[in-house]
Each structure stands twice: as C-alpha cells, then as structure tokens.
Amino acid sequence: MTERTYKAMTFRSLTIACGLLAAVPHAAHAAAPSEVLAWGDPEYGQTAVPAAVKEGSSAIGAGAFHSLAVRDGAVHSWGSNRYGHSAVPAALNSGVTAVSGGYLHSLALKSGGVVSWGADRYDATAVPSAAKNGVEAIAAGQYFSLALKNGAVLAWGDNRKDQTEVPDAAETGVTAIAAGAHHALALTKDGEVIAWGDNSKKQTDIPAEVKSGTVTAIAAGKDTSVAVVGGKVYAWGATYAAQKVPSGAQSKVVQVAVAIESLAALKEDGKVIEWKVNNTSATNVTGATDVRALAAGAHHFVALKGDPPEKS
C-alpha cells in the first residue's frame, strides 16, 4: 500500500472499553496461559504478534493498521508506525492496565491516568487534566479520544462532527464506551445505548430492538454501530451493517468487533465467529478458542485467549 493510499484509508477500528478483559463465561477448561492471536491483513505487520507478548498478556487493542498489547504492565505495539503511534513512550513500561488504538494515535491507561502518543491531529493526544486520574476505561476514535471516569464520559480531539460534545445522558451511570471514526457510543448501567456525533450513515440512530432491550456490549466502526441484546448482535449505520446477522451471531454472543469488510463475535463458549460484509454465512476463526477479549482494526482482528496472568 502506497503512502498516498494509506493516508486516504478511512478508519473503522473497534474499541471495546470498560470491562474489555472482564471474565467471559464459557465452558470450563484446563488452565491455559494467556495468548494473543491476530488475523487478517498483514501488510503493515499488524498481525505478526511479537514473541514478547505472544503469551502472558493482560490487555489488547487495535488501531487502523497497528496492534497493541499489555504484558507485565508494559505496552507493546506492532504494525504501522508512520506517525509514531507504535513508538511506545518509555513511561509505559509498567503500571498499564488497558490500551486502545485510533487511526494515527494510541491510548494507554496507567494508574488511572490516560497517556496518548502518535499524531496529534485535532488535539487527539492532548489529554485533558480531568483524564489524568480516576479513569476506568479508554477508547480511541479516528482523531478523537474518549475516557470513562466515575460513570461519566470525557472526550477530546476532533469535534468536526460533534463527536466530543458529550450529551448530558452520558455524564452519569455509564459503564462502557466505544469510538468510531466520527461518532461515539456509551452503555449505561441500565443497559441503554447512547450515541452521538456523525450521523451521515444513521450510525447514531439506535434501532427500536436495541432501545427496547437490555444491551450487554457495544462496538463502533467508522460509520457503524453494534450492540448485543440478549446474546444477539444488532448492527446499524452503514448500509452493509443493517443486514441480518448470521444465525451464529443471533444468540450467546458476549462481545463484538467491527472491521471494514467483516465483523467478529465472541461466543459464550470462548469461540469467535467472523462474517463478511453482505454475507450472512459465518465461519469459525482458526485457533480462536477460550477467547476473552476482541479488538478490530481496519482489516484485522486481535484476540486475547486463555486465562489471565497471575498477579505478582
């Protein structure tokens, strides 16, 4: 891919925040070491998991063309580094609990404070003082960032589509956040979804089935929003996203991830299924068993499988 093409690519990364690594209920299994698995487009090396994080990682993230993992509290990043978004700051060699990737920037959560690096377009990496302590979750959009603090959403960076104009409803009782390219989602403690920002593809028009149900997980892509209600995946926004989901994604789903040409769902049994745009036939992802977290970039996915590392 040429530099010109890279710059023209639109970001459609998924960020699952708040509870990214929460225990996923699935069948009992023998203890297995935590392992990072990545698949999809390898062009920038984003699916070539480094040996340093292959086992023993505790958190993962994915940007458009790069991937992130946390092992022993230290951040590791691989894939594209054209704008320094994979050049991990030295301060992130310990104490990190979560990571999230944007288009050209990355986020990490260290001791309750947000650290950001990479391209500072539209002040995407200009972390406000309020996000430097007490933060519980993070999510990176294309050129903006989100943080969850005391049940309230904090946002900074690109606001051309009002994506950092947090609505009043998202200033209390929020338990999870997700960032698309130019829109954002929040999940409340009552299982309700709040959406704001760009609505050019109806990505903030929450379907009636989602509004009337209890949502347990959310995800956001470039112009796509996804929610899980009663174990079933609902997608809205871009034309392809409104399709009927495969039968395998209509029950027992606990997490979702959205890339440009495909979606992935984590099932209760720890297995992952993937389906292509405009195709309701899902396939099982090879090697994706005992998975407990998912993340998606533009054309790739990252999964964390096995048991959490023992705390020292």
Q: In the numeric block, which tokens belong to residue 148?
A: 């969850």
Q: Given this model, what pLDDT does residue 8 score?
A: 40
Q: DSSP string of 105-142? A: EEEEEETTEEEEEE--GGGTT---GGGSSSEEEEEE-S
Distance CA 41, CA 220 (A): 20
| pLDDT higher than threshold 60 for residue 18 | no
Distance CA 286, CA 74 (A): 28
Q: Given this model, what pLDDT does residue 311 score?
A: 67
Mean pLDDT of 142-165: 98
Question: What average pLDDT does the structure give for the chain?
Answer: 89
Evaluate whether 96 touches 75 at the Cβ level (below 8 Å).
yes
Q: Given this model, what pLDDT does residue 242 score?
A: 64
Q: What would the pLDDT profile of 259-310 be if each residue is shown by its tens digit?
A: 888 899 999 999 999 998 767 789 999 999 999 999 999 999 999 999 888 7
Q: In a 3-state reduction of DSSP, which class is residue 299?
A: coil
Q: In the numeric block, which tokens belong to residue 251?
A: 């029950």
Q: What would the pLDDT profile of 82-99 be if each residue is shown by its tens digit?
A: 999 999 999 999 999 999
Neighbour order of strands in the sheet with 113-118: 96-101, 105-110, 113-118
Evaluate whether 261 touches 300 at the Cβ level (below 8 Å).
no
**Is 168 or 31 the better-scoring residue by pLDDT?**
168
Q: What would the pLDDT profile of 32-69 be if each residue is shown by its tens digit?
A: 779 999 999 999 999 999 999 999 999 999 999 999 99
